[in-house]
Amino acid sequence: MDSFTHEIKLQALREGFHKVGIVRAERLDDEAPRLKEWLAPRHHGEMSWMARDVEKRLNPVEIFPQACSIVVVALNYYTFAQHEQNSTTGKVSRYAWGDDYHDVLKTKLESLLSWIRERVPEAAGKICVDIQPVMDKAWAVRAGIGWLGKHSNVITQEFGSWVFIGELLLNLDLDADADRAEDHCGTCTLCIDACPTQAITEPYVVDSNRCISYATIELRAPELPVSIEQNLSGWLYGCDICQDVCPWNRFEAATEELRFAPRKGNVNANLAEVLELTPETYAARFRGSAMKRTKLTGLQRNARALLRADSDAT
């Protein structure tokens, strides 16, 4: 490995990233058929933006024409807090407990890019964190960060799947990591069996239309589909079931990133309080939080559904 490639990796770790790998900015030819097979039966549901920029999503040069190498990073977000199961609160998925990860990863990647540009002034880069049409998981697998679990999240050997993924597209010709991460799922099917809505239709494939995470975060409908409402399993925002049951998530290490510390009331949110929120109190409570994605109407819709599901059960 050339010494500057090595220095970039060390700096990424100094910025606080937990894993880093480097890949060539090539078109994702091997993954292209899979993406198209996923879109064809509308597994993306109403996330029309997933179907919009397919060629961009597959080819980093379409996003950043000078792209030559991609620095792929993973940031552990696990903290030791645990969910409670009770009828007055709704569970929030782990990824949304603290500050919005888009902001946290972006700040760190900006700092990494500045560090690179101080040493190589002609360096130019593009930061991608989730919202750009980039296949984060495919790049993480190619960069050797982790393998795609059968629940379709990337699993690292050290931190399980509790990691966020981001990329820095660079115009520099860096040494790429040679090896993709090996699949360690073996014969296990725990995530597939545990999903209450059978959203993992086959290993490695999630149908968003059946997924509690999609319905409670992304779906913009006045009410949740009945099949979701009846199987919410206490989730108000997102769902961690397929990750909670995964044996690779038994060895979790808590993150040192203080911005991921759970905000008050964000692990289990009080449903009565959610229903009392006004646009003003909602904006104040969730400023800078990833929980804002569903908007106030979506959050209150989910809270009503949970309360109905609970009264049906009693």
Q: Which residue is nearest to ligand SF4 (CB)?
A: 149
Min separation Cβ 217 and ligand B12, Å: 6
Catalytic position from the list 53, 103, 130, 310: 130
104 belongs to the binding site for ligand B12 (CB under 6 A): no
Binding track, positions 242-281, relative to ligand B12; x by CB under 6 A: x---------------------------------------
Other Cβ atoms closer than 10 A to 294: 23
Q: Which amino acid is at 103?
A: D
Structure tokens at 230: 């009846």
93 belongs to the binding site for ligand B12 (CB under 6 A): yes
Out of 18, 91, 126, 137, name the contact with ligand B12 by CB under 6 A.
Answer: 137
Residue 246 contact partner, candidates ligand SF4, ligand B12, none, CB within 5 to 8 A by sort of partner: ligand SF4
Binding track, positions 180-219, relative to ligand B12; x by CB under 6 A: ------------------------xxx-x--x-xx---x-
Residue 148 contact partner, candidates ligand SF4, ligand B12, none, CB within 5 to 8 A by sort of partner: ligand B12
User: Binders of ligand B12 among 20-49, rule CB under 6 A?
Assistant: 31, 34-35, 38, 47
Residue 247 contact partner, candidates ligand B12, ligand SF4, none, CB within 5 to 8 A by sort of partner: ligand SF4
Q: Based on CB atoms, which residue is closest to ligand SF4, 16 or 149?
A: 149
Residue 134 contact partner, candidates ligand SF4, ligand B12, none, CB within 5 to 8 A by sort of partner: ligand B12
* CB distance 156 to 77 below 8 Å: no
Residue 260 contact partner, candidates ligand SF4, ligand B12, none, CB within 5 to 8 A by sort of partner: none
**Distance (Å, rounded) from C-alpha 149 to C-alpha 130?**
18
241 belongs to the binding site for ligand SF4 (CB under 6 A): yes
246 belongs to the binding site for ligand SF4 (CB under 6 A): yes
130 is known as an active-site residue: yes
3-state secondary structure the chain: CCHHHHHHHHHHHHCCCCEEEEEECCCCCCCHHHHHHHHCCCCCCCCHHHHHCHHHHHCHHHCCCCCCEEEEEEEECCCCCCCCCCCCEEEECHHHCCECHHHHHHHHHHHHHHHHHHHCCCCCEEEECCCCCCCHHHHHHHCCCCEECCCCCEEECCCECCEEEEEEEECCCCCCCCCCCCCCCCCCCHHHHHCCCCCEEECCEECHHHCHHHHHHHCCCCCCCHHHHCCCCCEEECCCHHHHCCHHHCCCCCCCCHHHCCCCCCCEEEHHHHHHCCHHHHHHHCCCEHHHHHHHHHHHHHHHHHHHHHHHHC
Q: Which residue is nearest to ligand B12 (CB)?
A: 238
**Distance (Å, rounded) from C-alpha 89 to C-alpha 268?**
6
Q: List interacting residues with ligand SF4 (CB under 6 A).
A: 149-151, 185, 188-191, 195, 197, 199-200, 206, 211-213, 239, 241-242, 245-248
Which residues are tagged catalytic?
130
Q: List interacting residues with ligand B12 (CB under 6 A).
A: 31, 34-35, 38, 47, 50, 93, 95, 130, 134-138, 148, 151-154, 161, 163-165, 204-206, 208, 211, 213-214, 218, 238-240, 242
